[in-house]
Amino acid sequence: MSHIKKRRGDGADEVTAAYDGARVRLRPVLTTALVASLGFVPMALATGAGAEVQKPLATVVIGGLITSTLLTLVVLPTLYAWVESRRQ
């Protein structure tokens, strides 16, 4: 959001600012989510002792990481551009 607001302050329109903000945050957000998700894959595939507790936890965490990544990179910039265009 800070990059989007900075671009708006520089005079960019809502859509361009939202696109640039998502593009700038793409690599850090994807890297963080991918590393965390890959760390939980062994838990999600576990079959040994305690797997009945680990599998659901890992599945929920991986799903949450995927969902939050999509929300951060797609939904939030889209909503920002839509709200800002409606405000004017």
Which pLDDT score is estimated for 42?
A: 92
**pTM (2 decimals)?**
0.79
Q: In tens digits, what is the pLDDT along the chain, a chain of 88 residues?
A: 888 889 889 988 889 999 998 999 999 999 999 999 999 999 999 988 888 889 999 999 999 999 999 999 999 999 999 998 898 7
The CATH label, of 3.40.1160.10, 1.20.1640.10, 3.40.50.300, 3.30.420.40, for the domain at 2-87 is 1.20.1640.10
pLDDT at 49: 86
pLDDT value at position 66?
95
Phi-psi bin for 48: left (phi > 0), alpha (psi -120 to 50), beta? beta
CA distance 27 to 57: 26
CA distance 48 to 54: 10
